[in-house]
């Protein structure tokens, strides 16, 4: 069938579906004057609540190989054949490897082949698409903020919530937030990795602005966090040393040993339950982490916590990959209290990456311990200045 590639702002608008929109008047905390390295990509800064009420929509389940395993991804398909993307440029990278068999012309038209994607289930009742991303960071930053849209519009509040496969941290979060499991609709199964799920009436929210989203999620978790305030460590480093690929930090053992000597508790975030994670971050004043280790925890941490983020130097500059800009955008609301240490990706790191087939976020980088010390000292100074400010 002939299809179209559509961005979030356009998807489902031309087929007679309903549209809900509320513009927010609350001030946005996103820094207005972005440093050069943080310019030139979408920042999800507009403060609004928005949803499309799509009729006869389809969620397509798409499997991808990642490392030695498989992950499931989900795409929204309107009855007009529109495939929804956060950024339409992503379509070019996956066309020919999924149900989008090819792109035509300027890349906005496509051919869709669903022959190998059987319809596993049809839903006649009104639903609200929430999703269940594979990792904690996107669950916190992208998924849970959609509940704000559902809360705002009366038309959405009685709809059942559509999730992908739920992991333990999804389930524990929903229990913690008292979201009734009888209202869950869980789709997706690894037993049939290519599949379709059809919905007669599906509400699809536009992700709210990041500053707005982060404030909302902190409010959701505030009772649980305040119950443990003052009990956890003041300095925390969220490690990826037990996650594959562990060599995102080429000198990771050296970095962790040094941070431990500076009073940081080294935490393997993936080994903790949600409640244990909240215990760890409740009192943290300085949080350090490499890429992919702590986004969700940074959102939930104290709003005055200082952040030291370790990022590979290849993410700098205007020539960076589309993915790098997308990832960096999540940190924009933290910039006024965040320091970035850019890791070196030189000859030895490049050789290691080439030999092990590592690319994008998985490339290794080496981090200068002197720069880490400088960042810690500046974080300490900022905290002292905050303590001196009148309350």
Task: Sketch out the chain's domains with CATH numbers.
Answer: 2-207 (no CATH), 227-388 (3.40.50)
Could you tell me the CA-to-CA distances from 2 to 35, 73, 104 in Å, in that order?
A: 42, 22, 10
pLDDT value of residue 173:
95
| Torsion 88-90-96-98 (CA) sign | negative
pLDDT value of residue 358:
78
Nearest residue to 213 via CA among 7, 9, 28: 28
Residues whose CB falls within 8 Å of the CB of residue 171, separated by 6 or more in sequence, listed in order: none
pTM of the model: 0.90
Read out DSSP for 261-275? Answer: HTTPEEEEGGGS-HH
245 upstream amide cis, omega within 30 of 0:
yes
pLDDT value of residue 388:
78
Give the integer Cα–Cα distance in Å for 133 and 145: 13
Give the integer Cα–Cα distance in Å for 324 and 157: 35
Condensed to tens digits (0 to 9), the pLDDT of residues 247-279 reads 678 899 999 999 999 999 999 888 899 999 999
Read out DSSP for 177-237? Answer: TT--GGGEEE---TTS-SEEEEEEEEEEEEPPPHHHHHHHHHHHHHHHHHTTTTSS-SEEE
- With b for 16 or more beta-carbon neighbours within 10 A and e for fewer, the 243-263 pattern comes to eeeebbbbbbeebbebbeeee
The size of the chain, in residues, is 391
| Torsion 177-227-243-323 (CA) sign | positive
Residues whose CB falls within 8 Å of the CB of residue 364, separated by 6 or more in sequence, listed in order: 247, 248, 249, 250, 312, 345, 349, 352, 353, 358
pLDDT value of residue 13:
82
Residue ranges of the chain with per-residue pLDDT less than 50: 27
How many CB atoms neighbour CB 106 within 10 A?
7
pLDDT value of residue 245:
58
């Amino acid at each position: 069938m002939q299809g179209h590639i559509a961005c979030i702002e356009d998807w489902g608008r031309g087929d007679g579906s309903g549209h809900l929109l509320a513009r927010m008047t609350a001030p946005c905390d996103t820094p207005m004057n972005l440093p050069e390295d943080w310019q030139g990509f979408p920042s999800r800064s507009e403060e609004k609540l928005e949803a499309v009420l799509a009729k006869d929509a389809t969620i397509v389940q798409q499997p991808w190989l990642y490392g030695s395993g498989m992950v499931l991804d989900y795409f929204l398909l309107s009855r007009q054949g529109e495939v929804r993307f956060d950024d339409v440029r992503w379509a070019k990278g996956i066309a020919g490897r999924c149900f989008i068999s090819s792109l035509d012309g300027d890349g906005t038209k496509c051919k869709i082949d669903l022959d190998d994607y059987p319809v596993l289930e049809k839903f006649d009742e009104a639903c609200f698409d929430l999703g269940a991303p594979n990792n904690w960071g996107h669950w916190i930053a992208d998924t849970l903020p959609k509940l704000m849209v559902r809360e705002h519009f009366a038309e959405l509040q009685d709809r059942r919530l559509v999730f992908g496969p739920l992991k333990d941290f999804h389930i524990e979060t929903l229990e913690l937030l008292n979201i009734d499991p009888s209202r869950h609709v869980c789709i997706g199964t690894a037993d049939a990795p290519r599949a379709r799920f059809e919905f007669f009436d599906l509400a699809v929210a536009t992700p709210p602005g990041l500053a707005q989203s982060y404030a909302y999620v902190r409010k959701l978790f505030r009772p649980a966090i305040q119950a443990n305030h003052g009990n956890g460590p003041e300095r925390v480093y969220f490690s990826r040393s037990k996650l594959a690929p562990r060599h995102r930090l080429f000198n990771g053992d050296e970095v962790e040993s040094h941070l431990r000597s500076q009073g940081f508790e080294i935490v393997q975030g993936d080994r903790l339950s949600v409640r244990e994670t909240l215990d760890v971050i409740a009192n943290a004043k300085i949080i350090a982490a490499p890429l992919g280790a702590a986004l969700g925890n940074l959102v939930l941490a104290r709003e005055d916590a200082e952040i030291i983020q370790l990022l590979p130097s290849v993410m700098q500059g205007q020539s960076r990959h589309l993915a790098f800009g997308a990832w960096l955008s999540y940190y924009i609301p933290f910039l006024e209290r965040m320091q970035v240490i850019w890791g070196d990706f030189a000859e030895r790191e490049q050789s290691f990456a080439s030999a092990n087939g590592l690319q994008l976020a998985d490339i290794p980088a080496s981090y200068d311990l002197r720069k880490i010390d400088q960042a810690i000292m500046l974080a300490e100074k900022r905290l002292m200045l905050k303590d001196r400010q009148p309350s």
